[in-house]
Amino acid sequence: MQQKQDNKRLATLTLAALGIVYGDIGTSPLYSLKEVFGGAHHPVPITPDNVLGILSLFFWSLIIVVTLKYVAFIMRANNKGEGGIIALMTLAMQKGTPGSWQQKLLVTLGLFGAALFYGDGVITPAISVLSAVEGLEIITPAFTPYILPITLIVLIGLFIFQRKGTASVGALFGPVMLIWFAVIAALGGAAIIENPAVLAAVNPLYAANFLLGNSVLGFFALGAVVLCITGAEALYADMGHFGARPIQYAWLGYVLPALVINYFGQGALLLADPAAVENPFYLLAPEWGRYPLVILATVATVIASQAVISGAFSITQQAMQLGYTPRLAIQHTSDREMGQIYLPAINWLLLISIILLVVEFGSSSKLAAAYGIAVTGTMLITNILAIAVAVRLWNWSPARAVLGALPFICIDLGFFLANSVKIPDGGWFPLVFGLAVFILLTTWKRGRELLGARLAADAMGLRPFLSSLSECDVERVPGTAVFMTPDPEAVPHAMLHSLKHYKVLHEQVVILSVKVFDIPFVPEVDRVEVHRLPNNFAQVVVQYGFKDEPDIPAALALTAEAGLSLDMMDTSFFLGRETLIPTLRSSMPYWRTLIFVAMFRNAGSATAFFKIPSNRVVELGSQVVL
Task: Tell me the per-residue pLDDT of 425-439, one tens digit each, with 9 for 90 and over.
Answer: 888 888 888 899 999
CA dihedral (51, 53, 56, 62) positive or negative: negative
Q: Which residues, in sequence order, are CB contacts of 610 under 8 Å at separation 6+?
A: 484, 514, 550, 551, 552
Q: How many CB atoms lie within 10 A of CB 126?
A: 26
Residue 180, C-beta contacts closer than 8 angstroms, at least 6 positions apart:
26, 27, 296, 297, 300
The residue that leads in pLDDT, 610 or 332, is 610
Quick one: pLDDT band at residue 270, thresholds 50, 70, 90?
A: very high
**pLDDT tens digits, one per residue of 399-455:** 999 998 899 999 999 999 988 888 888 888 888 888 999 999 999 999 888 888 887
Cα dihedral 160, 161, 165, 167 in deg (nearest 10): -170
The C-alpha torsion from 343 through 347 and 349 to 350, rounded to 10°, is: 130
More confident residue, 1 or 135: 135
Separation CA 95–CA 173 (nearest Å):
39
Give residue-wise pLDDT tens across range 119-144. 888 888 888 888 888 888 877 788 88
The Cα 550–Cα 472 span in angstroms is: 36
- pLDDT band for 167, please (50, 70, 90 cuts): low
Instruction: Please give the pLDDT value at position 400.
Output: 92
On the question of pLDDT at 62 being above 90, the answer is yes
Cβ–Cβ < 8 Å for 487, 459: yes
Tell me the whole-structure pTM to 2 decimals.
Answer: 0.83
For residue 340, the model assigns a pLDDT of 64
How far apart, in whole angstroms, are the C-alpha atoms of residue 483 and residue 210?
68
Which residues contact residue 436 at a Cβ distance below 8 angstroms, ignoring those fewer than 6 apart? 115
Structural domains of the chain, with CATH: 2-424 (1.20.1740.10), 454-625 (no CATH)
What pLDDT score was predicted for residue 448?
87
- The pair phi, psi for residue 346, each rounded to 5°, is -70, -40
What pLDDT is stored for residue 66 in this prediction? 92
Residue 532 forms beta bridges with which residues?
538
Q: What's the rounded Cα separation, in Å, for the pair 140 and 518?
A: 54
Element (H, E) at 543: strand 537-545
| Crossing angle (nearest 10°) for helices 364-392 and 101-133 | 150
Mean pLDDT of the chain: 85
